[in-house]
Amino acid sequence: MTCVLLVRDSMMSTPRRIVLLGKTGSGKSNLANTIFGEQLFKTDHSPNSVTTECQAETKSVNGRSITLIDTPGVFDTNRPEEELKSEIVNCITECALGPYAFLIVLKVETFTKQEQAVISEICQCFSEDLLKYAVIVFTHGDQLEEGQTIEKFCSKNKDLRDLVKRCGGRCYVVDNKHWKNNQQEEYSSNQVQLAELLNTIDKMVMENNGGHYTNEVFQVVEEEIRREEEDIKQNMSGNMPRKEIRKQAKTRVSKRLLIQLAGTATGAVLGAFLGLAAMVIVVVKALQSVEGLRKLGGAAVAAAAGGQVAGLAVSGVVLGVSAAAFASAGGVIGGVIDKCIQVFQNMWELWIYWAEA
């Protein structure tokens, strides 16, 4: 019993890292503000995404230290590829220590073909390992019919019902606009729903022995961040807060990773973030390939520039690992990053042309 209490106390003092995922307009930022009880995340009522960059905030909630990581709409298809890839890489570096929970944020609404497509995409993209750490949270709870629970709402749609089942039945509902803490009906209260949500996350963490979600990509990135932290410590003058050191390290690593993954399709990077085994392997190999070239120095750049564009794999998801290495190593060693990326883009277009011919 003493050991259990010590583990529980340790977990309560460690910031609970929680990632919010969902399409634009689902209410991720509003949900984050509702959990924290103050406006820390930017929100708007326009149909366009307000969150364009990954944002993380930490606050104590009901005796728990919680870090909420708000993400841009990673399922939005209307964003430019490179912009979306950049934000997915930012998410990976922000989450490198490993999230304790993922909140999949959806709206209570009639399921059109678009909503159905989002659910189908989530089912296809999310690994089973990740879903063990996932909770579905619905916003716009006032749209529920009178006397209807969120469980009954989900039961009406097969795909949604299956998704909830794969998440261990973990499902909650809030309303960021209409529901207040003094609601006569207890069910229609954010305070009640959020208390149950946080208790569910606590229980989930306990069942995982205090562990968090991770995969090889997260582990490789965390190693890079720690190396950068050591480099900053060794070269800085004066004292810098540990939090600021880590922030700078994550920024450096994020920028470097984006260059290193220049030859990896956005879908593969997203798949690696969501734990799809094949995509994790692809992204890790791309990163390891660049690490090897960095150690070889200028000779590696010359070899890469010699036209060794390799890595046509995973049904066309990834093209040109060596080209990605060329963009990275060439930029770092020769100081011509933009030139290298342009060369790679030309190579990419040739591969596309050959593949479609």
* φ, ψ of residue 93 in degrees (nearest 5): -70, -35
CA distance 150 to 296: 57
Token pair belonging to 262: 């220049």
Res 218: pLDDT: 95
HEC-encoded secondary structure of 125-147: HCCHHHHCCEEEEEECHHHCCCC
Res 155: pLDDT: 92
3-state secondary structure of 89: helix
**HSE-up (13 A, CA, CB side) for residue 78:** 6
Query: Which residues of the chain form CATH 3.40.50.300?
Result: 2-207
Token pair belonging to 119: 């659910």
Dihedral sign for Cα atoms in the order 97, 249, 268, 164 = positive
Res 5: pLDDT: 44
Res 77: pLDDT: 66
Which pLDDT tens digit goes with each residue over 103-137? 999 999 877 777 777 777 777 788 888 999 999 99
CB 154 within 8 A of CB 137: no
Q: Say which amino acid occupies 77.
A: T
Identify the bridge partners of residue 144 per DSSP, sorted by sequence position.
none
Distances (CA, A) of 139 to 112, 155, 193: 17, 17, 11
Identify the bridge partners of residue 104 per DSSP, sorted by sequence position.
21, 136
CA distance 331 to 232: 21
CA distance 258 to 263: 10
Identify the CATH class of 2-207. Answer: alpha beta
CA distance 53 to 69: 10
**How large is the greatest C-alpha to C-alpha distance in the chain, in angstroms?**
72
Q: Which of these, 173, 305, 326, 188, lies nearest to 261 by C-alpha position?
A: 326
- pTM of the shown model: 0.76
Token pair belonging to 265: 């399709």
- DSSP one-letter string for 304-342: HHTT-----BTTTTB--HHHHHHHHHHHHHHS-HHHHHH
Dihedral sign for Cα atoms in the order 59, 173, 201, 185 = positive
Res 291: pLDDT: 55
CA distance 138 to 330: 46
CA distance 278 to 281: 5
Q: Which residues of the chain have pLDDT under 50?
A: 1-8, 10-11, 46-51, 292-357
Q: Where are the beta strands (DSSP E) in the chain?
A: 16-21, 55-61, 64-70, 101-107, 134-139, 171-173
**Burial label, 15 (beta-carbon count in 10 A; 0-12, 13-18, 19+):** middle
Res 314: pLDDT: 31
CB 69 within 8 A of CB 91: yes
Token pair belonging to 271: 């798949």
If phi > 0 it is left, if psi is from -120 to 50 it is alpha, else beta; for residue 172 that is beta
